[in-house]
Structure 1
């Protein structure tokens, strides 16, 4: 009987150790700052990426990914009588138009961030 108690005690200790070791891994560390240094560092690339996306979305019907091109595809589906395709493409068009608004807002926000980063120490903007 004492052997079984030792085995049970060892198993209990092992299980407790596993549970205690796993607890800190599940808890995410609390942020200590706002990440401004990293944001300022990535700012030029972020501005470039947003600018390219806006240029593409605002392009004419010949530009892949533009609102005008997708609008033309919706019109073509309506003309051909493909109701299901028209509905699908129209939903994509609605999303793409909302994306355009979101990116324009983000571009304006990035201008403010650029001004803020420039006002900080020169090391923060690089």
Structure 2
């Protein structure tokens, strides 16, 4: 019986670990895409909307998963992620609506994605 419990725990740990790794990789991908746009500005302007849309979709999924009742995360962590997600949504909207967006507006999105990705890898 003890062996079955340990085996079940290991399987669950692998699933959670791979989920965190996948989330971290996606956040890093989004950050890299936004950083590339900033670095190649203004030639990269046409890539701005698709990159922001990808990042927004990613954060929409994160926010939806942490606000579910069955989320294993502590309430305060869930609330912090939801708050960050709302901030990112607002920043993204502001950049998309800006008639003359500036590349430095992407800095906060890149930094937050990298920080959350690092946190997921370290968990």
Whether these two folds match at TM > 0.5 is no
Larger-gyration structure (1/2): 1
In proportion to residue count, which structure has more helix?
2
Which of the pair has the greater relative contact order for Cα pairs under 8 Å at 6+ separation?
Answer: 2
TM bracket, shorter-chain basis: 0.3 to 0.5
Q: TM-score, with normalisation over the residues of structure 1?
A: 0.40
